[in-house]
Structure 1
Amino acid sequence: MKNNYVLYFAFGSNMLETRMLKRCPSALLIDSIAKLEDYQLVFNRQGDYEDGGVASIEQKAGAVVYGLLYAMIVPDIENLDKIESPNDDAYNREVVTVSTLSNQNVDCFTYIASPKGSFLPTKKYLDWIIEGATIAGLPASYIKKLRNIKSI
């Protein structure tokens, strides 16, 4: 990979590649599925662009969050920063270590929300996450877990 690309772990609606490419045209899906151990998927903040809760992650021993690994150029990361944290406090870009299907540990960045409570996602938003997970071929047990999340 060229040095001007940075790796991004998408676990929410950005797993849907068509959505991601509208936001970050340089995004390249690489090594497809990745997992982040000892974290769980949560909806702990209300969206700035969605009525319901938006996806984030928080630490939880023994839990796993699956997602996709993208490479993108720095200007697209800056665009994604503006989308994910338009008020400068919604999400923080943080470095995490994920495992790929080929059992490689990879340092990448992801966005973790500043918690504001517990919220239900909209059905449309949750459908984006489920569609991205299904297209990517995430484990069936994880997709089932996503389908069991209540929405509004």
Structure 2
Amino acid sequence: ETMDNQISFYFAYGSNMCKTRLLERKVEYVSRSLAYLQGHQLEFTLPHKKLRNMEFIKDDHLIGYANVSKVSETTSNVIDQFCKSSVVYGILIELKTKEEIYKLDFFEGIEFGHYTRERVQVQRIKEGREETVEALIYFAGRNLLKNGLKPSKKYMNYLLGGSDLLPTDYVDNLKQLETH
């Protein structure tokens, strides 16, 4: 079985779609391209860490981070605009070295179970052609998920940082989502 650190591709569907975010996190990459994950839907169901620590500060307890769930498992927490589709678009990032994934692990809170890292097959769209690529992805910790959350404006702006590559319709749907 392929070791995770031998896979150089990472599929980002949340804030890491943004080049600035990757720069802030000192994650070095070779390329970014458009890709999608089939049979999944985008949701914002990972509570802000202040909720996880049970410290309620202002609206933070209502803030959710992005997650993708298998369509079969999806409950009523799915955002209307994305219901019609069982595809999550994102950015396929070719990492420069295998160390980069450990930097991402740190920011995604792997150690604390905020997200888990797994492998998926995504469809990369490059120059009008599609190809299947094995990529690393982060899924939010199942026992932490909560309905009724909304992304913060700041967080949503990071997602919109992927609009240089994302399909226009998908970006429009993201822009229509309610934020805190």
TM-score by length of 1: 0.86
Higher Cα radius of gyration: 2
Runs (4 or more) in structure 1 with deviation over 2 Å come to: 47-51
Please give the residue correspondences for 1:1-152 in structure 2 after superposition, counting only pairs within 5 Å.
6-30=8-32, 32-48=33-49, 51=60, 52-60=63-71, 63-72=86-95, 73-85=97-109, 87-101=111-125, 102-115=129-142, 116-118=145-147, 119-130=149-160, 132-136=161-165, 138-152=166-180
Q: 1:134, 1:49 → 2: CA distance?
A: 29
Q: Secondary structure at the match of 1:133?
A: coil
Count the aligned residue pairs: 147
Percent of aligned pairs with the same residue?
Answer: 32
Structure 1 unaligned segments of length 5 or more: list them. Answer: none
Deviations 1:46-93 (A, max 9, x none): 133894211110011651111111122222211110110155210000
Change (3 A) 1:147 1:16: same
Q: 2:24, 2:41 → 1: CA distance?
A: 27
Whether contact under 8 Å (2:110, 2:116) holds in the other structure is no
Q: 1:74, 1:57 → 2: CA distance?
A: 24
TM-score by length of 2: 0.74
Q: 1:60, 1:147 → 2: CA distance?
A: 22
Structure 2 unaligned segments of length 5 or more: list them. Answer: 52-59, 73-84
